[in-house]
Amino acid sequence: FDTKKSVPKALKLIQLYEQMGIQKERVLIKIASTWEGIQAAKILEEKHNIHCNLTLLFSFSQAVACAEAGVTLISPFVGRILDWYVANTNTKSFEPEKDPGVISVTQIYNYYKKYDYKTVVMGASFRNIGEIKALAGCDYLTIGPALLKDLEDDDEPISEQLSIKSAKSTDIEKINIDEAKFRWLLNEDAMATEKLSEGIRKFAQDSKKLEDMIKKYINSA
């Protein structure tokens, strides 16, 4: 939630990597897709040539803001979107083509390709191989070992579902996002608002656990 503090924190992390001989070109700084986080990523990309991965992305408005900021990569969460709809609607299972997470990433991919944004779409957080197959053709997919094994054992062929050519033929309208519009659209999306808040809380808890572990290690040395 703090652009001014996020930028120097990222620069410090890059400095630490470089001290270990790892150049910044090999590093992606992971930042939550809040308005402040997206603006921090924009500064890092434009002024420092530092690549950013915008995470906790659950809505189209977040994706558009990231593209306009020129971030390197986004990680829209397919499975977590599905989880919300299963928990909050009367529908407890979805066919892949009707999966809310699949629909979300498909919309984002098509928008990016139709309007020639360079930001990479990396679908993440999958619950089943049906979701993965439905997004075949997406720039990147990050898939856990268990689902990779399921894919290996699956005999059905995988066909391309997403492509630049098909994206260009969609009639999706171009929009521009400023801070007020971003906050309004996010506020109107109950799923995205709840999942973003939940994700930030979990990241904060994990960060505190890591800090406590490091303190314990230092004090026992």
Catalytic positions? 30
Side chain identity at residue 6, one-letter code: S
SS3 labels along the chain? CCHHHHHHHHHHHHHHHHHCCCCHHHCCEEEECCHHHHHHHHHHHHHHCCCEEEEEECCHHHHHHHHHHCCCEEEEEHHHHHHHHHHHCCCCCCCHHHCHHHHHHHHHHHHHHHCCCCCEEEEECCCCHHHHHHCCCCCEECCCHHHHHHHHHCCCCCCCCCCHHHHHCCCCCCCCCCHHHHHHHHHHCHHHHHHHHHHHHHHHHHHHHHHHHHHHHHHHC
Which residue reads 């699949």 in tokens? 102
